[in-house]
Every structure is written in C-alpha cells, then in structure tokens.
Structure 1
Amino acid sequence: MQRKDDFETRRQHLAHLSEEELEKRFWELTEKIVEPLIELARTHTSPSIERSVLLRMGFDSLTAKAIVEKCVEKGLLGKGAGHVVLKYALYKNIPIKEAGERLAKGDGWDEIEQAMAVKISAASAGEVV
C-alpha cells in the first residue's frame, strides 16, 4: 500500500505566509491549545500539588510548606507556587533557590504583585536557574 502524499494540498492555506508569519501562527495556535490546560491547572490545584511542584524544583519540604502557606494566604495558589517563585526570581534577578528561600522566610511578599507582572521567556527563565 502506497500513501498518497497530500502535503501540497494541506499546506495551500499556509503557502503565502512568510517564515515570521508562520512562526507567529504557530505560537497563536500553541497558545489556543495550552490555554485550557492553564485554566485547568489554575482551578484544579491544591496545597499538596503545589508543594509537590516545589519539591521537584529542588526545595525541601519545610521550605515548600512555608511558600505554599504564604501563597494560600495571599490568594496566589491558583497562579502556582512554582510560578510565584520563578517570577520573584526574575524580578529580583536572583537564582530560583534563593528566591524560594527568601519567600519561605517571609521576605519579598510585599514585592510579589510587581514580580507577577514580569514577562517570562525561555531565555529569561534560563538565567535564574
């Protein structure tokens, strides 16, 4: 059995797009795919799940517990405790480990609102690891 290749037919609606336009379309479609997953994660998390995420990020259980408790207190659990730590690390331009330790000690929570406004890119996330 030989497969009839229909690539040219299937790509006709994309053929006129430049490389930049194709990349933009890719990211738009990716965002549409991921959006429901983000909503599910936001609405279906728990302190236990968030502690687990922090443990996988390399924090010990006491540090993870302290961060999650503060996230609950501040109404940030739906954002993800790991996300809060990452945003704070980017905001302060410090390693993730140091950011988490500061937050666990109670420091930096007054800056979290500004930190959550930081835009994340693959390059910026790699800087704080």
Structure 2
Amino acid sequence: MKREDDFEIRKEHLKGLTEEQLYDRFWNLTEEIVKPIVDLAYTHTSPSIERSVVLRMGFSSLQAKPLIDYGTKYNLLGKGIGNVILTYAKLKNMDYLKAGEELCGGIGWDIVSEKMKGSDK
C-alpha cells in the first residue's frame, strides 16, 4: 500500500507564517505536549527516583535500600526521602548522614513519620 503524499495540503495552514512565528508555534506545541509529563513529575515519585536522591546525598546503595523500604512502609515516599532524612536530622539536631544511618537501622521512623504527616495539616 502506497501512502498518498498530502504534505502540501497539511502544510497549508502554516504557509503565511514567518520564521519567528513558526519557531514560536513549535515551542508552544512542544510545551503543550510536555506539560502533562512535567505536572506528573511534580506530584509523583518512585522508589528508583528516591534511591537516586539518597545516593546523591552520599549514602551507599546498601543504606539506600532500607531507607526506601522504610519510607515505603511508613508511606513517606511522596514526601521525598531526602526531605525525610533532613527533617529527622533537624528534629534530632544531628548531621543528616548520622540521621540517615539511624533511619537505615529502623530507628526514628515513628518520630519522623508523625512530624511529616503532621505537616500536611
């Protein structure tokens, strides 16, 4: 089956546009297409994204796993595990790396969970 060449017909509405107008139209359409994806990224996260954040904070992959697992268990993944670690560090007045180590060991999740969920109000 041969496709009919209808390019001349399809480009008719663009015929009178200047180079600058075409440029603006392209970027407006691109923004329109990408906006739902960007909106989704602002409101959703995943264990792999949070793991990446934890690794960039200086934790090892062996530490990242329990942090993500506990974060999921306590339903805090949406708050951002990095934010959870920093909040716990602030609550305990300690360095965030030490706070992360405690959280890795299962210590402090009840405290930080109460604080983080209380910040929703």
TM norm structure 2: 0.60
Cα distance in 2, alignment partners of residues 82 and 47 from structure 1: 12
CA positional deviation for 1:64: 0.9
Residues 49 and 95 of structure 1: is their aligned pair in 2 closer, same or farther, counting only changes over 3 Å? same
Cα distance in 1, alignment partners of residues 86 and 99 from structure 2: 8
CA contact (8 A) 1:89 1:96 kept: yes
Q: Equivalent residue of 2:73, what SS?
A: helix
Partner of 1:52: 52
User: Aligned pair count?
Assistant: 81
Question: For residues 1-129 of structure 1, what are the structure 2 equivalents within 5 Å?
Answer: 40-41=41-42, 43-116=43-116
Task: Give the AA of the match of 1:69.
Answer: D
Residues 93 and 38 of structure 1: is their aligned pair in 2 closer, same or farther, counting only changes over 3 Å? farther
Gaps of at least 5 residues in structure 1 are 1-36, 119-129
Partner of 2:34: none
TM norm structure 1: 0.57
Question: Whose Rg is larger?
Answer: 2
Q: Equivalent residue of 1:98, what SS?
A: helix
Cα distance in 1, alignment partners of residues 85 and 40 from structure 2: 19
Query: CA offsets per residue over residues 41-89 of structure 1, 9 Å max, x none?
Result: 3x32110100000000000001111101001011110000101000000
What's the Cα RMSD here?
Answer: 2.0
Identity %, equivalent residues = 51
